[in-house]
């Protein structure tokens, strides 16, 4: 149960907390859930000062490799800056990381007070194992961008891990996305006991989705592919239909052209007959 209410009585809670002996107040701030502390700090500079030993608590943390030249309207903090801080920096909602060879997940976690983020986004260059290293039981959404190294032999293991963590939604927008990734996942789930899978929708054949249900938990995988990459969609029937339509159109045009020629010939003959009579 939360120790602090975020309702209209929050200011009373802060007042009562500050009225306690220093040792008692500090002990409460020490064990207080970060979410409650985050809201308390917003309403009281005194609480913010007294709880400074808990580090910085932010809603979202945007982190980038020191070698990145990322241009973004969002301010990304360099990895070295976070590591050199004398305090922890813990995101409550989102963690967005522009990956590079210098960023090691376990090292980053050493500068956090546990893993609280529910949304994870990765950019830059990274491997599927890096994605797994950032996972924890509270993650609900994953957005994969940039370039993710995912060998064919590891596709099943990667998606099986995401399903086991019960991630609710996974967006795959990497520049090396392969439609076969979702196909492999579908086949894997169809062959597994206790797991169901279905294609949810095709948005103009551009956003293939599959929904995997396991232990009453649903995971939606969305892949972003260009039209020419969707090898599993057979458009041959459509092509034949188009060709057939083109042939019918050509035949109709030829028939119309022949009719016009016949009309011209008949008109020419009639004129010749009239001329002969007149002469």
Q: CB atoms < 10 A from the CB of 103, how many?
A: 25
To the nearest 10°, the Cα dihedral for 142, 147, 151, 154?
-10
The token pair that represents 20 in the structure block: 């306690």
Cα–Cα–Cα angle for 137, 190, 178, nearest 5°?
75
Q: Where are the domains of the chain?
A: 1-54, 56-229, 236-279
Angle between helices 22-31 and 10-18 (to 10 degrees): 130
With a cut of 70, which residues of the chain have pLDDT below it?
1-15, 199-207, 225-279
CB 116 within 8 A of CB 34: yes
pLDDT of residue 232: 46
Q: Decide: 159 and 189 in contact? Cβ < 8 Å.
A: no
Please list the residues that pair with 147 across neighbouring strands. Answer: 125
Distance between CA atoms of residues 223 and 69, nearest Å: 27
Bridge partners for 213 per DSSP = 196, 218
- Residue 127 pairs in a beta bridge with 149
Q: What burial class does residue 55 get, using C-beta atoms within 10 Å of its C-beta: 0-12 exposed, 13-18 middle, 19+ buried? A: middle
* Residue 54: alpha-carbon gap to chain centroid: 31
Structure pTM? 0.74
Question: Cα 119 to the chain's mean position, in Å?
Answer: 10
Structure tokens at 258: 């022949």
- For 235, the 3-state DSSP assignment is coil
Closest residue by Cα to residue 233 from 180, 174, 169: 180
> Do the strands 119-127 and 147-149 form a parallel or antiparallel pair, or are they unpaired?
parallel
């Amino acid at each position: 149960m939360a120790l602090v209410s975020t309702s209209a009585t929050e200011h009373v809670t802060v007042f009562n907390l500050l009225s306690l002996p220093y040792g008692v107040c500090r002990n409460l701030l020490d064990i207080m859930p970060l979410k409650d502390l985050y809201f308390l700090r917003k309403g009281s500079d005194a609480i913010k000062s007294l709880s400074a030993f808990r580090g910085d608590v932010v809603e979202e943390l945007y982190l980038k490799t020191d070698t990145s030249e990322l241009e973004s309207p969002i301010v990304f903090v360099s990895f070295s800056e976070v590591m050199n801080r004398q305090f922890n920096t813990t995101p409550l909602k989102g963690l967005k990381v522009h990956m590079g060879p210098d960023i090691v997940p376990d090292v980053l976690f050493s500068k956090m007070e546990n893993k609280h983020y529910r949304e994870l986004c990765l950019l830059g260059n990274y491997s599927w194992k890096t994605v797994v290293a950032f996972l924890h039981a509270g993650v609900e959404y994953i957005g994969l961008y940039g370039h993710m190294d995912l060998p064919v032999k590891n596709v099943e293991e990667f998606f099986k891990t995401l399903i086991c963590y019960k991630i609710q939604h996974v967006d795959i927008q990497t520049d090396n996305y392969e439609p076969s990734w979702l196909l492999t996942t579908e086949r894997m789930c169809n062959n597994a006991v206790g797991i169901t899978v279905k294609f949810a929708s095709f948005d103009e054949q551009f956003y293939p989705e599959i929904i995997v249900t396991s232990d009453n938990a649903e995971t939606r995988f969305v892949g972003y592919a260009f039209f020419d990459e969707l090898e599993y969609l057979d458009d041959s029937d459509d092509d034949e239909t188009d060709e057939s339509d083109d042939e019918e159109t050509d035949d109709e045009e030829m028939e119309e052209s022949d009719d016009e020629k016949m009309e011209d010939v008949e008109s020419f003959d009639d004129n010749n007959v009239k001329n002969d009579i007149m002469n």
